[in-house]
A and B are shown apart, each in its own frame.
Chain A
Amino acid sequence: MENKTKIHAEENKQDLVITREFDLPVALLFKAYVEPEIVAQWMGTKVLKLESKKYGSWEFETSDPNGNVVFKANGVIHDFIPNEKIVRTFEMENSNFAPQLEFLEFEKITDETSKLTMQIIYKSIEHRAAQLKLPFGFGLNMAHNRLEEIVTKLKQNEQEK
């Protein structure tokens, strides 16, 4: 079965594009990005703030079962056109990653299907590589930071050989 979610990451560039077609009318796809309680469900994070409008801002936070915050991210919304596009920034707090810029475009394919194109622009080619080389993407789980350290250490060991 073909993967529905595609990632196009050209070499030596500092952006990447994620595309996905949904079995949903574009209005519902867009709604999933706007309603805080819905965002919380599919992103698997707590939504502290989500002001879906131009000049608005957002804040997500994820805790482990013991209540320790393991992931915190925030950003501002630069453009917001219902059922068409969202332009926003994304910054992972307490990390070495620079904020990134995200362009989300929502398109109607048919009355019942739609497409999302998400372009993420990183600070540099290196920043994109660092993000992708994290074994598990954004650290939405407690394993993430430690594993990142381990992988980095392994790589260093490898280079020393």
Chain B
Amino acid sequence: MTSLYLQSNNCVMEIRRDVFQAIADPTRRAILSLVAIQSMTPGAIAENFDSSRQTISKHIQILSECELLNQTQNGREIYYHLNPVKMKEIDSFIEPFRKMWEERFDKLEAIMKNYKK
């Protein structure tokens, strides 16, 4: 293959698409960076954000579903940590880059539609 055309690439594995969705969100990326340093309870993670505890729980849930986070039970507490195997999967493609631009351009389009008329 001499070039990459990243369009509706249906051959991208389902699981990968999930991972991309997971990392498309800035809060989730911030969560990943926090647990990358040390395992954390959901409460400790939530303290780093202005969002509600429920919102953060939802983000943690999505990250867990995509297997970016692993969890261990320690007594009553659940600790979340980064799944390095999964992190490696998202290392080397253009898709997150494309997605970043797509999000920006979607926003641009939405904003400028208000100026139409």
Contacts and interface: CB of A to CB of B under 8 A. Distances in A.
Contact of B107 (A11, A18, A42): A42
Contact of A6 (B6, B30, B104): B6
B117 to A, nearest CB: 10
B111 A7 contact: no
A: contact size bracket: 35 or more
B90 interface: yes
Interface residues of B, number: 45
Interface in A124-161: 131-138, 140-144, 146-147, 150-151, 154-155, 158
Contacts of B98: 3, 5-7, 18
Interface string B70-87: 000000000000101001
A31 interface: yes
Q: Is the interface of A mostly helix, strand, loop or mixed?
A: mixed
A28 B97 CA distance: 24
B3 A136 contact: no
B91 A135 contact: yes
Q: Is the interface of B mostly helix, strand, loop or mixed?
A: helix
A4 B6 CA distance: 10
A116 B11 CA distance: 27
22 contacts: A1-B8, A3-B8, A4-B105, A8-B4, A18-B101, A22-B109, A25-B116, A42-B111, A116-B105, A132-B97, A135-B91, A141-B26, A142-B33, A143-B33, A147-B33, A147-B87, A150-B36, A150-B82, A151-B87, A154-B91, A155-B91, A158-B88
**10 smallest beta-carbon distances between A and B, as pairs:** A143-B33, A143-B29, A5-B102, A137-B100, A42-B108, A42-B107, A146-B33, A10-B3, A28-B112, A137-B97
Interface of B: 1-8, 23, 26, 29-33, 36-37, 49-50, 82, 84, 87-88, 90-94, 96-98, 100-102, 104-109, 111-113, 115-116
